Amino acid sequence: MPQSVALVTDSTAELALALGDGGDASLGELGWGVGMVPLHVVVDGTSHREGVDLDAERLASALDSRAAVTTASPGPSEFEAAWRSALDAGAEHVVSVHLSSKMSATGDVARSTASMLELPVTVIDSRSVSGGLAAPVLAGARAAAAGADLDAVVDVVNRTIDRTQVRFVVESLDRLRRGGRIGAAQAFLGTALSVKPLLQVARDGSVDGWQKVRTLRAARQALLAWGQETATTAADAVIDSLTDDEFSDGEGTAVDVTVHHLERPETAKEMAAALRAAVDDTVAVRISRLGATVGAHTGVGTVAIVVSPRVEGDPGRWTPAP
């Protein structure tokens, strides 16, 4: 029997990359489908669909060769095709979750398309991107697969959005400045050229600064320390909300942590290993390459950490043993 609620997202969630350490897992392995609408990456005037005919490796090569790279939102027909596919498969309603409206017009296009077509589609702004988008999408997909109704799925998605944090380090600010995605961080950064900023996706979905250091190494160390502390605190909070026993056994995941990178696999592996060493087995740590759209704006060498506690109503959330 088909589930009543289907999830759709866009390619910046990078789901196929995020589900396994090597980025090799597929959505099919989870037992449910999530519809995906690709964004467009334009390289030297030629448009490519992210995740379809352009991957992160080819994007990195284009950036290294100083090709002209821009991005564009999907068109209305692409959203319609993804939604109708889900509805034709038996879903009664679609929850369509997309990257931050502060970063892209993708969500606005989705919202206007849904209104024009009068389809049973709820569009949600994740106020994030990459793993910060994937986390609420997967939480909603788990809830929908377990039989949750529309209101419950939307609630799980929104509460996961509220609790998910994304922080990152870029090797150069050139791509962010060129694409106009640096937003409120510009005032934080000023004109200093001798600092390495640590950036974050703010609560409103914009890119902002949170710390400045002198070297790339120090920036990555600060990012790792933040990830270790935030994941540990978040896991403790989930477990404390469910049991008074500090040493209680249980099953499921309390917190999802994703280490993103663009062409820095060894750095990502080292960070993931350090994160795993600092947390217990209620925290799931994964490695994911950044996709082409995000990479086009952050540049080669970007490393990010996403921390997302699982919320009440998520069937995959940690629960104490009976």
Identify the CATH number of the domain in which residue 219 sits: 3.30.1180.10
For residue 296, count other CB atoms closer than 10 A to its CB: 28
Burial (0-12, 13-18, 19+ Cβ within 10 Å), 118: exposed
Where on the phi/psi map is residue 36: left (φ > 0), alpha (ψ -120 to 50), or beta? Answer: beta
What is the gyration radius of the CA atoms in the chain, in angstroms? 19
**Cα–Cα distance between 175 and 31 in angstroms, integer?**
37
Which of 163, 185, 215 represents a domain boundary (last residue)? 163
Domain co-membership, 199 together with 259: yes
Phi, psi of 204 (to 5 degrees): -90, 0
How confident is the model at residue 248, as a pLDDT? 67
Q: Which pLDDT value is given to residue 20? A: 47
Task: Confirm whether 56 is domain-assigned.
Answer: no
How high is the pLDDT of residue 63? 80
Q: Which residues pair with 99 in a beta bridge?
A: none
Together in a domain, 237 and 278: yes
Same domain, 155 and 198: no
Distance CA 259, CA 307 (A): 9
* Ranges of the chain with pLDDT below 70: 1-2, 17-32, 178-194, 245-248
Phi, psi of 48 (to 5 degrees): -125, 150
The answer to whether residues 109 and 248 belong to one domain is: no
Per the structure, the complete domain to which residue 129 belongs is given by 5-38+74-163
**Side-chain-side CA neighbours of residue 174 (13 Å):** 10
Judgement on whether residues 131 and 213 belong to the same structural domain of the protein: no
Q: Are residues 203 and 119 in the same domain?
A: no
Residue pair 258/131 in contact by the 8 Å Cβ criterion: yes
Q: Residue 294: inside a domain, yes or no? A: yes
The per-residue pLDDT for 186 is 56
Of 135, 202, 204, 166, the C-alpha closest to 304 is: 166
SS3 labels along 157-212:
HHHHHHHCEEEEECCCCHHHHHHCCCCCHHHHHCCCCCCEEEEEECCCCCEEEEEE
Residues 279 and 318: their CA atoms lie apart, in Å, by 14
A 10 A CB-CB count for 192 gives: 8
Note whether residue 61 is domain-resident.
no
Which of the listed residues 130, 163, 196 is the one where a domain comes to its end? 163
Domain assignment present for 52: no
Same domain, 116 and 192: no
Whether the CB-CB separation of 257 and 310 falls below 8 Å is answered with no
Q: Which of 143, 132, 176, 174 shows the shortest CA–CA distance to 6?
A: 143
Are 157 and 170 part of one and the same domain? no
Provide the pLDDT for residue 112: 96
Which of residues 131, 163, 195 is at a domain's end?
163
- Round to whole Å and give the CA distance between 189 and 161: 27
Contact predicate 13/130, CB 8 Å: yes
Alpha helix ranges (H) inside the chain: 15-18, 56-64, 76-88, 106-117, 131-145, 150-163, 174-179, 185-189, 216-240, 265-278, 292-298
